[in-house]
């Protein structure tokens, strides 16, 4: 039985190795992230694209057409509550992906789309990847595949904890340093959980 | 080296056990939150405030913290009409405070999360930039566990690689093909002229 548990622990770890590294990097990013007042949003790159609004369409249909015209990679189509008018009464929507934010404004009178792409750095990209869950709206198969891999890794992490404890108890239950680590780590967590709540 | 790496993997795993379990459970909650009831328990109370506070929201917060035991980080102080609104937050409790300027009482709306929702709060909390020291301590621990998770992965990879029965036999990582990697390398080295490399099977001293 221990042999089977060892194989489960080993192969789950190997299958989830890359995403566990992503989780670790995301944790370090949160740790060393500047405070809210010191964060600088990524610089936006502006471009304009020719776009003529067909007649007799409502705002949401126009936004959908603009989205199709731009063919933004990894981005889901805008939801109805994401399509709004700005202070100049121009129609627009935002598109979030792991690569960053894209702001699209429809300049109907000029027959153009103004597109501002705010691309994040690699660390923010990895942080976004770690937060990509199967609840997210997406039509891109790559995002969907990663979301399911993330889902698998979440459950695998829990199972690796259980199998890891099994392997410890089956092989070296009296390992003194390990016992101290368990007590210190668990005690620290419980202290935060109980006193912080 | 193998024994040392194995002990490191064990100790890291046990130290981080509850932290990683929390991250796993909160990951499930975040992915599937309709499965769970995460509504906080909300109570509203009126607490007296000293007359001389005036229009300083931060002073109101500090008075409530000193005299009525509210604890946490002071956030979002703003004036709306003739009222001051602010928030004092810690991991499991949030106090939303409304105080009429020059009034004698502050309305305190306390939201206290349940045990599962507390996992979510711990999951997203982090950073070392806070005014509230326990937030910074937790942020430090998050950094330690993050490094620990990366090291767990690296040591685990090393342990798998060193296991004789895994490495010299079949490699079956993705269950699509079986490849006798070491056998192939041996054949290749035998074929090459003047090969100086000799791959001996690894035998760990303990299991």
Phi, then psi, of B77 in degrees rounded to 5? -85, 125
With beta carbons under 8 A apart, name residues in chain B contacting A11. 173
Distance from the Cα of B85 to chain A's closest Cα (Å) equals 19
CB pair distance less than 8 Å for A33 and B127: yes
CB pair distance less than 8 Å for B10 and A157: no
Using CB atoms, pick whichever of B20, B28, B33 lies closest to residue A161.
B20
- CA contacts within 13 A on the Cβ side of A121: 7
Instruction: Tell me how far the alpha carbon of residue B189 is from its chain's centroid.
Output: 47
Structure confidence at residue A187 (pLDDT): 95
Evaluate whether A38 touches B167 at the Cβ level (below 8 Å).
no
Structure confidence at residue B168 (pLDDT): 57
Residue pLDDT, tens place only, A128-154 = 999 999 988 888 899 999 999 999 999
- CA contacts within 13 A on the Cβ side of B62: 5
What ipTM, to 2 d.p.? 0.87
Residue pLDDT, tens place only, B145-169 = 999 999 999 999 999 988 855 555 4
Could you tell me the pLDDT band of residue B195, with boundaries at 50, 70 and 90? very low
Residue pLDDT, tens place only, A82-96 = 899 989 899 999 998
CA distance B164 to B179: 15
Distance from the Cα of B33 to chain A's closest Cα (Å) equals 9
Chain B interface includes A77 (CB < 8 A): no
Structure confidence at residue B165 (pLDDT): 55
Name the β-bridge partners of A92.
A84, A105
CA distance B153 to A17: 6
Between positions 14 and 73 of B, the ones with CB within 8 A of A are: 14-25, 27-28, 30-33
With beta carbons under 8 A apart, name residues in chain B contacting A176. none
CA distance B40 to B146: 29
Average pLDDT, chain B: 80
Chain B interface includes A155 (CB < 8 A): yes
**Residue A96 φ/ψ region, left for φ over 0, alpha for ψ in the -120 to 50 degree band, beta for the rest:** beta
Chain B interface includes A145 (CB < 8 A): no
Q: Which has more pLDDT, A170 or A196?
A: A170
Instruction: Report the run of H or E that residue B152 belongs to, with start and end.
Output: helix B133-162
Please return the burial class of A3, using the count of CB atoms within 10 Å of its CB with bins 0-12, 13-18 and 19+.
exposed
Q: A115: closest CA among A41, A181, A48?
A: A48
CA distance B156 to B162: 10
Using CB atoms, pick whichever of A13, A135, A185 lies closest to residue B156.
A13
Distance from the Cα of A163 to chain B's closest Cα (Å) equals 11
Regarding pTM above 0.90, the answer is no
Interface test with A, best of B91, B152, B153, B176 (most A CBs within 10 A): B153
Cβ neighbours of residue A180 closer than 8 Å, sequence gap 6 or more:
none
Contacts of residues B157-163 at CB distance under 8 Å and 24 or more positions apart, as own/partner, are B157/A13, B157/A14, B157/A17, B158/B5, B159/B2, B159/B5, B159/B6, B159/B9, B160/A10, B160/A13, B160/A14, B162/B2, B162/B5, B162/B202, B162/B204, B163/B202, B163/B204
CA distance A91 to A58: 11
Cβ neighbours of residue B76 closer than 8 Å, sequence gap 6 or more:
B85, B86, B87
Name the β-bridge partners of A105.
A92, A114
Question: Mutual orientation of helices B133-162 and B2-15 as an angle, nearest 10°?
Answer: 150
Using CB atoms, pick whichever of A133, A154, A168 lies closest to residue B10.
A168
Structure confidence at residue B166 (pLDDT): 53
Structure confidence at residue B194 (pLDDT): 40
Distance from the Cα of A86 to chain B's closest Cα (Å) equals 24
What is the number of other CB atoms lying within 10 angstroms of the CB of residue A126?
20
Using CB atoms, pick whichever of A11, A178, A196 lies closest to residue B10.
A178
- CA contacts within 13 A on the Cβ side of B113: 20
Chain A interface includes B7 (CB < 8 A): yes
Evaluate whether B98 touches B107 at the Cβ level (below 8 Å).
yes
């Amino acid at each position: 039985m221990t042999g089977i548990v060892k194989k489960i622990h080993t192969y789950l770890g190997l299958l989830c190795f890359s995403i566990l590294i992503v989780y670790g990097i995301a944790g370090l990013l949160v740790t060393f992230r500047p405070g809210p007042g010191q964060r600088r949003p990524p610089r936006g790159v502006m471009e304009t694209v020719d776009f003529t609004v067909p007649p007799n369409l409502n705002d949401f249909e126009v936004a959908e057409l603009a989205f199709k015209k731009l063919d933004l990679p990894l981005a889901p189509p805008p939801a109805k509550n994401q399509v709004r008018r700005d202070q100049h009464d121009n129609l627009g929507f935002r598109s979030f992906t792991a690569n960053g934010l894209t702001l699209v404004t429809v300049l109907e009178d000029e027959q153009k789309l103004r597109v501002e792409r705010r691309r994040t750095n690699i660390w923010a990209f990895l942080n976004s990847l770690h937060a990509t869950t199967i609840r997210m709206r997406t039509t891109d198969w790559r995002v969907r595949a990663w979301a399911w891999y993330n889902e698998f890794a979440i459950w695998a992490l829990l199972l690796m904890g259980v199998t890891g404890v099994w392997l410890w108890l089956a092989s070296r239950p009296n390992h003194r340093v390990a016992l101290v680590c368990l007590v210190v780590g668990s005690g620290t967590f419980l202290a935060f959980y109980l006193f912080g709540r | 080296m193998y024994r040392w790496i194995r002990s490191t993997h064990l100790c890291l795993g046990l130290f981080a056990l509850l932290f990683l379990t929390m991250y796993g459970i909160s990951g499930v909650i975040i992915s599937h939150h309709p499965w769970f009831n995460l509504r906080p328990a909300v109570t509203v109370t009126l607490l007296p405030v000293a007359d001389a506070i005036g229009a300083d929201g931060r002073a109101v917060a500090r008075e409530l913290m000193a005299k009525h035991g509210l604890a946490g980080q002071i956030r979002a102080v703003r004036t709306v009409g003739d009222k001051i609104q602010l928030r004092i937050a810690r991991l499991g409790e949030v106090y939303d405070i409304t105080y009429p300027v020059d009034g004698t009482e502050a309305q305190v709306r306390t939201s206290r999360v349940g045990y599962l929702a507390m996992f979510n709060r711990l999951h997203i909390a982090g950073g070392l930039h806070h005014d509230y020291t326990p937030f910074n301590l937790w942020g430090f621990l998050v950094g330690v566990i993050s490094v620990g998770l990366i090291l767990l992965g690296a040591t685990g990879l090393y342990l798998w690689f060193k296991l004789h029965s895994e490495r010299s036999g079949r490699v079956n990582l993705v269950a699509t093909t079986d490849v006798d990697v070491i056998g192939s390398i041996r054949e290749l080295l035998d074929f090459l002229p003047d090969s100086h490399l000799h791959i001996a099977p690894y035998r760990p001293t303990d299991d």
